[in-house]
Amino acid sequence: MNAPILVIDDDPTFNEVLTRAFVRRGFAAHGVLSADAALQTMQAQPPMRVVLDLNLGGASGLALIKPLLQANPACRIVVLTGYASIATAVDAIKLGAVQYLAKPVEVEAVLAAFAAVAEPAAEAPIGHLPLSVERLEWEHIQRVLRENDGNISATARALNMHRRTLQRKLMKRPARK
């Protein structure tokens, strides 16, 4: 329980805030800003708990999940992202992450994910409101984008929309409703 929580996030501010929040709550925590730094750190000491941002300065955080679990199969990885989408959530969980949360997120939620022993309650608190058009669009775009390996131009063509428009949409955060 004394191995530090590894925080991998390329946003210096967020990284520090989160790391400090852990420390303040009595957990050892160590923040790194890049995938490379993360790989180095995990070789020195395979972490038990990791908070992983999906967007690491261009590189995808998803690529880190495998090596992390390889270094320590018991490692509990919580994926965090400001641009949450079902497509990436599915991938993250399939790769072995234990939880996927959208920023902004409360430290409590992350800790809860680490603590949760057993798994998903089949009790689905299924929402009763259909997806908003915006949200649906976002999910669809994300899915197609993944299908095209993140190639924006190709995605725009496939979606029959203007590249510039796609670019702009991607810069915005996903609609929460």
Partner DNA sequence: TGCCGCCTGCGACAATTTGCCTCAGGCGGC
Partner DNA sequence: GCCGCCTGAGGCAAATTGTCGCAGGCGGCA
Instruction: Look at residue 54 and give the partner it binds from DNA, its own copies, none, a contact being a CB closer than 5 to 8 Å depending on partner kind.
Output: its own copies
Q: How far is the CB of 66 from its own copies (least distance, A)?
A: 7
Strand partners, 102: 81
Helix (H, G, I), strand (E, B) or coil at 100: strand
Q: Which pairing describes strands 55-56 and 59-60: parallel, antiparallel, or unpaired?
A: antiparallel
Q: Which pairing describes strands 5-8 and 49-53: parallel, antiparallel, or unpaired?
A: parallel
**173 in contact with DNA (CB under 7 A):** no
Instruction: Look at residue 41 and give the partner it binds from its own copies, DNA, none, a contact being a CB closer than 5 to 8 Å depending on partner kind.
Output: none
Among residues 17, 34, 48, 60, the one that binds its own copies under rule CB under 8 A:
60
Helix (H, G, I), strand (E, B) or coil at 54: coil
Kindly tell me which of 26 and 130 has the beta carbon lying closer to its own copies: 130
User: What φ, ψ does residue 103 adopt, rounded to 5°?
Assistant: -75, 150
- Please give the angle made by the CA atoms of 58, 173 and 5, to the nearest 5 degrees: 60
Instruction: Look at residue 73 and give the partner it binds from its own copies, DNA, none, a contact being a CB closer than 5 to 8 Å depending on partner kind.
Output: none
Among residues 137, 146, 154, 170, the one that binds its own copies under rule CB under 8 A:
137
Question: H helices of 25-159, where?
Answer: 35-44, 62-71, 86-95, 107-115, 133-147, 152-159
**140 in contact with DNA (CB under 7 A):** no
Q: Which residues bind its own copies (CB under 8 A)?
A: 54-55, 60-63, 65-66, 81-91, 93-95, 99-102, 109, 119-134, 136-137, 139-141, 143-144, 147, 158-161, 177
Q: Which residues bind DNA (CB under 7 A)?
A: 150-154, 161-165, 167-169, 171
